[in-house]
Amino acid sequence: MSRELNFKQELTGAFGDPISENPTQVMIEAAYRHHGLDWRYLTIEVKRGDLAAAVSGAKAMGFRGFNCTIPHKVAVIEHLDGLGESARLMGAVNCVVRRGSEWIGENTDGKGFVDSLGTLTNPRGKKVVIFGAGGAARAISVELALAGASHLTIVNRSPSRGEELVRLLREDVRVAADLVASHQEYTIPDGTDVVINATSIGLFPDIHARVPLNAGSLKSGMVVADVIPNPPITPLVRDARRAGCQVIDGLGMLVNQGVLGIQYWTGIQADPVVMRQALEKVFS
Ligand code: NDP
C-alpha cells in the first residue's frame, strides 16, 4: 500500500528590510531537516509600508508564524491579537506565533541573549553597559534585569530613545539604570562585568564601523557580547579578544532565539549545536 504523499510544507519566515543579509533561514531550516520536519523558513523583504499586506498574506497562506526584524518589531503589534509577557513589557515583537485562530506576538531576542550569556556568566548581581536603545537593546536590558542584573548603563546616540528605555527599566522593570546620551568614545567604567553592543554598528555591509568605545578600557575580567550576526567577527569582538575578555558573538543570541522560535511554532526543542554549525559553515 502506498503511503499518502504530501507536497505542502508548513511555512514560517522572516519579514524585514533590509533582510537579504539575515542568515536566520540557514539555521532554522537546518534544525527542521535535523528533526525531520517538512517545514520551510522564507527570508522575505517587506517594505515599511507593506507590513499590513504582508501580515494579511501570511494569515491567508496559513503561515505557522514568522519573525519580524527592522523596521517591523513595533509596527507589527497593531496587526496581532495579543502579546506574550516579554513582548508586552518591551513593546516589541520579534516572533509571531499562530495559536489556533489567534496571532500572538512574542519576544525571544532578550531570552535568547540571556541563554547565550548564561554559557559564560550568570547575570545575577552584574553591572552591565549596553550600547543602543533600539529593539535589541530593549529586549536584552529587560531580560537581563528580570534575570537579576544589578545595574544597567544605557549608552545611546539619540537622547530620546535612551531616556525612554531608562524610564522603562526604572519604572516598569524596577532596576537601577542610567543613561549616557553620547556618540563620543565612551570609557567603560572599572567594575563593569558585562559590555554589550546592541546597536546595528558593524552589520553588513558596514563591517568596519566601530562601536564608540575606548578599546583600552576593556579589561580581561569583562564579558563582551556583540549582537551583530553578520559578520559574527566584528571590530568589537576582535578588540575584546585582544583585551583578554570572554566574548560572545552575535551567532550565540541568534541561535538561542531561534531555538525559542522553533519551540513556539513547532513544539520541539531544537538542537542548538546543529543550528550553530549550519551558520558557521556559511560564514567560514
Ligand atoms: P533599531 O533600529 O531598533 O536600533 C538601532 C540602535 O543602533 C539604536 O540605538 C541606534 O541609535 C543605534 N545606532 C545605529 N547606527 C548607529 C550609529 N552609526 N552610531 C551610533 N548608534 C547607532 O535596531 P534593533 O535594535 O532592532 O537591531 C540592532 C542590531 O541588533 C541589528 O544589527 C540586528 O541585526 C541585531 N540583532 C541581532 C539579533 C541576534 O539574534 N543576534 C537579534 C536582534 C537584533 P539611535 O537611537 O541614536 O538611532
Both 83 and 28 in one domain: the answer is yes
Q: Say whether both 124 and 234 belong to one domain.
A: yes
248, three cell numbers? 560572545
Q: Do residues 140 and 188 both lie within one domain?
A: yes
C-alpha of residue 201 to centroid of ligand 1, in Å: 7
Which residue has a Cα nearest atom 1 of ligand 1? 134
CB neighbour list of residue 254: distance below 8 Å, 6 or more residues apart: 23, 24, 27, 112, 229, 279
Q: What is the pLDDT of residue 188?
A: 98
Is 272 found in the same domain as 243?
no
- What residues contact residue 78 under an 8 Å CB cut-off, 6+ apart? none
CA distance 260 to 263: 5
d(CA 44, CA 17): 8
In a domain, 4, yes or no: no
Per-residue pLDDT of the chain (284 residues; tens, 9 = 90+): 567 899 999 999 999 999 998 999 999 999 999 999 999 999 999 999 999 999 999 999 999 999 999 899 999 999 999 999 889 988 889 999 999 999 999 999 999 999 999 999 999 999 999 999 988 999 999 999 999 999 999 999 999 999 999 999 999 999 999 999 988 999 999 999 999 999 999 998 999 999 999 999 999 999 999 999 889 999 999 999 999 999 999 999 999 999 999 999 999 999 999 999 999 999 88
Predicted local distance difference test score (pLDDT) of residue 4:
86
Q: Which residues of 139-175 are buried (b: 16+ CB within 10 A; e: fewer)?
A: bbbbbbbbbebebbbbbbbeeebbebbbebbeeebeb
Residue 258: domain span? 10-107+253-283
pLDDT of residue 3: 75
Ligand 1 in reach of 158 Cβ (< 6 A)? yes
- Both 136 and 234 in one domain: the answer is yes
Pocket test for ligand 1, best of 200, 236, 249 (most atoms within 8 A of CB): 200
- 8 Å CB contact between 71 and 101: no
How far is the centre of ligand 1, averaged over its atoms, from the C-alpha of 136 (Å)?
7
Does ligand 1 lie within 6 Å of residue 165's CB atom?
no
pLDDT of residue 1: 57
Q: Which of 73, 111, 127, 281 is catalytic?
A: 73
Give yes or no for residue 135 CB within 6 A of ligand 1.
Answer: yes
Q: Give yes or no: residues 146 and 175 share one domain.
A: yes
pLDDT at 2: 65
Q: What is the pLDDT of residue 182?
A: 87
Q: How many domains does the chain have?
A: 2
